[in-house]
Amino acid sequence: MNELEARRQRSMLELQQAAVELAVHIAEVVTHTDISRGEYAVEELVRKATEKLGLDGPVRIYLNPDDLALLNRRLNSQPDWLSERVRIELISSGEVKRGDCVAESGEALVVAELDLRLEEIRRDLLDGLEHAQVERRRAASSDRAFGRFPDRRQTA
């Protein structure tokens, strides 16, 4: 019986790991699709990078040329957004991939790479598997056609 339980637990762990890989892959595909369509918050990426640097001095922001064009279009409709920040110089760089951002101020450097963010999500999810609990769900009554996930809502 112990061997059977050990195999079940290994299988469960493998399925959980596969679910994490699938979730991260889906997030990657959706994110890259949004980026290629220009439907992501490039201004939020720039804002977060400048906040990490602090606003003590001039900041240089390096963006992919397509991302910079998207940011400039958005800045035209929100001109006050950038003026709230300390001097920011926006620089087009073909070395920066779409969805990435490099910010520098003096000796400080912030690099925001999409691939690194996705890898961090993957690591966090895989680390969380150790604490995951598996529930066996049964229908509340056998006369329900769809009873796979019983109502578990609670008020806050």
pTM of this prediction exceeds 0.85? no
62 pairs with which residues across the strands? 91, 102
pLDDT of residue 38: 86
CA distance readout (Å), 38 to 50, 68, 69, 74, 99: 21, 11, 10, 11, 10
Domains belonging to the chain, first-starting first, are: 2-131 (3.30.2320.30)
Helix (H) or strand (E) holding 62: strand 59-63
Q: Is 135 exposed, middle or buried (0-12, 13-18, 19+ CB in 10 A)?
A: exposed
pLDDT in tens, 26-76: 999 999 999 999 888 898 898 888 888 876 678 899 999 999 999 998 888
